[in-house]
């Protein structure tokens, strides 16, 4: 449940950073303001940090499922204390990761798109961002999924207790859901990826960041829907919050 809460907190942080950027952009467009505001760089920093937290929260969940199946006797790896340390480290790394952009002065104000962002192009900051925020966490999650698929197939060929196979299959399904959620988030953010690749060879379209942010907002909404659909504990909590009266009546009847 703690890891699920971490994913929800990361999603909320990323959604807030995207929302604040969109609100300021709309306000500047309506008032025809073309100057950089004081918090422009801070919003860019927050968007990169929260994207890091979100993508690595999926990897942490996948690693947890892998540990349950492969190392069920190492209980300290499943303890709340260990989870707390891992989550704190991921959030600390998420804060340190965008500091590189500040140190290099890579965050610049784009007048056409009314946001501060790392310019697209074949440069170290862009490759660094794509590698650490997208490629590494997604590769980790997908690798763990295929590793568990292979392990479950090997278990079915050997004489293995039914409860062990059932547990492995259950955790495999959870990792599969995590992979699906990650793919939804990244694939629907494809316009941003396309613009990054195109910028290596040609200049990006004038309003590329606006188009990319719209696709990311849509993918974030769909990702939340997928997360709610597959996550039973989270679904139960949401139902309790939405229907508190029904829960009280059921408790009285029981």
Give the CATH number of the domain where residue 214 resides.
1.20.1070.10
Calculate the CA 204 to chain-centre distance.
Answer: 25
**Bridge partners (DSSP) listed for residue 67:** none
What pLDDT is attached to residue 88? 93
Domain region containing 74? 2-233
The C-alpha angle 229, 61, 235, rounded to 5 degrees, equals 25
In a domain, 128, yes or no: yes
How many C-beta atoms lie closer than 10 Å to residue 178's C-beta? 27
pLDDT recorded at residue 146: 78
Domain annotation covers residue 251: no
95 within domain boundaries = yes
Q: What integer pLDDT is reported at residue 98 of this predicted model?
A: 92
Instruction: Report yes or no: 222 and 180 within 8 Å, Cβ to Cβ.
Output: no
pLDDT for 250 equals: 44
| Beta strand 115-117 pairing with 108-110 | antiparallel
**pLDDT recorded at residue 90:** 92
In this predicted structure, what is the pLDDT of residue 187? 65
Number of domains in the chain: 1
pLDDT (tens place) for every residue of the chain, 254 residues total: 687 788 888 888 888 888 888 888 888 888 887 788 888 888 889 989 998 998 898 888 888 888 877 777 777 777 888 889 999 999 999 999 999 999 988 888 888 778 888 887 778 888 888 888 888 888 888 888 778 777 767 766 665 566 555 666 666 666 666 666 666 666 656 667 777 777 677 766 666 677 777 777 777 777 777 666 666 655 666 666 666 655 544 444 44
Examine residue 172 and state whether it is found in any structural domain, yes or no: yes
Does any domain span residue 198?
yes
Is residue 254 in some structural domain?
Answer: no
Whether residue 253 lies inside any domain: the answer is: no
Q: Is 245 part of any domain?
A: no
In the prediction, which pLDDT does 65 show? 80
């Amino acid at each position: 449940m703690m890891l699920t809460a971490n994913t929800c907190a990361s999603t909320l942080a990323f959604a807030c950073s995207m929302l604040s950027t969109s609100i300021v952009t709309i306000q500047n467009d309506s008032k025809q303001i073309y100057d950089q505001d004081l918090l422009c760089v801070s919003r860019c920093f927050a968007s990169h940090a929260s994207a890091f937290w979100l993508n690595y929260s999926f990897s942490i969940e996948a690693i947890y499922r892998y540990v349950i199946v492969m190392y069920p006797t190492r209980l300290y790896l499943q303890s709340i204390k260990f989870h707390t340390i891992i989550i704190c480290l991921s959030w600390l790394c998420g804060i340190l990761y965008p500091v590189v952009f500040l140190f290099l002065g890579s965050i610049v104000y784009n007048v056409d798109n009314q946001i501060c962002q790392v310019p697209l192009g074949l440069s170290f900051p862009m490759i660094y961002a794509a590698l650490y925020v997208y490629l590494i966490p997604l590769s980790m999650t997908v690798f763990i999924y295929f590793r568990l698929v292979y392990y479950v197939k090997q278990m079915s060929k050997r004489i293995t207790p039914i409860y062990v196979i059932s547990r492995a299959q259950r955790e495999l399904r959870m990792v599969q859901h995590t992979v699906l959620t990650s793919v939804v988030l990244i694939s629907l953010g494809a316009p941003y990826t396309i613009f990054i690749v195109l910028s290596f060879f040609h200049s990006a379209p004038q309003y590329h960041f606006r188009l990319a942010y719209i696709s990311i907002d849509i993918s974030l909404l769909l990702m939340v829907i997928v997360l709610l659909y597959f996550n039973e504990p989270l679904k139960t909590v949401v139902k309790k919050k939405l229907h508190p009266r029904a829960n009280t009546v059921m408790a009285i009847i029981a």
